[in-house]
Structure 1
Amino acid sequence: LWSTFKHEYYYRHIFVHAAELVAAVDYWMNFYNTRRRHSTIAMLSPTDYEQSLTATSMAA
């Protein structure tokens, strides 16, 4: 997880204050856990995948 964070975000930005880094970690973790597409769930974001499951279960 941290290796992915460093390669996808940390090395591409400059942080002047520690608070900026904390905010960046918070932003990235939210992005990673809710909006980032994952190959194991058909390249959907976790949020989209959950919505597709909900729509499927309501249609049945």
Structure 2
Amino acid sequence: MGSVGDSYDNALAENLWVITKTECIRGRVFATRAETNLALFEYIDGFYNSRRIQKRLGYLSPIE
């Protein structure tokens, strides 16, 4: 990550949360905090980290 005073760390975190909100949260209504946590876990661990295509991988997912 960046050194002290760089904005790189914040930009990466902001990007992750914007994508998460757009692809996972927006348009859904959750009854409990536990339900929200489960949806976030399933999205990040089940899709974002393993199946989402990445430009650096030649538009393939890490599983591929």
Structure 2 residue ranges without an equivalent (≥5): 1-15
Instruction: Give the Å deviation of 1:8.
Output: 1.1
| Percent of matched pairs sharing the same residue | 33
The DSSP-based 3-state class of the residue aligned with 2:36 is: helix
Q: 1:24 aligns with which of 35, 39, 51?
A: 39
Q: Within 1, Cα distance between the matches of 2:38 and 2:27?
A: 15
CA RMSD in angstroms, aligned pairs only: 1.0
Q: Within 2, Cα distance between the matches of 1:2 and 1:15?
A: 18
The DSSP-based 3-state class of the residue aligned with 2:26 is: helix
The alignment of Structure 1 onto Structure 2 pairs a total of residues equal to 48
Structure 1 residue ranges without an equivalent (≥5): 49-60
Instruction: After the TM superposition, list the runs of 4 or more consecutive aligned residues in structure 1 that deviate by more than 3 angstroms.
Output: none
Residues 10-55 of structure 1: CA distance to partner in whole angstroms, max 9, x if unpaired? 013111111110001101111100011112211111121xxxxxxx
TM-score (norm: length of structure 1): 0.72
More helix by share: 1
TM-score (norm: length of structure 2): 0.68
Greater gyration radius: 1
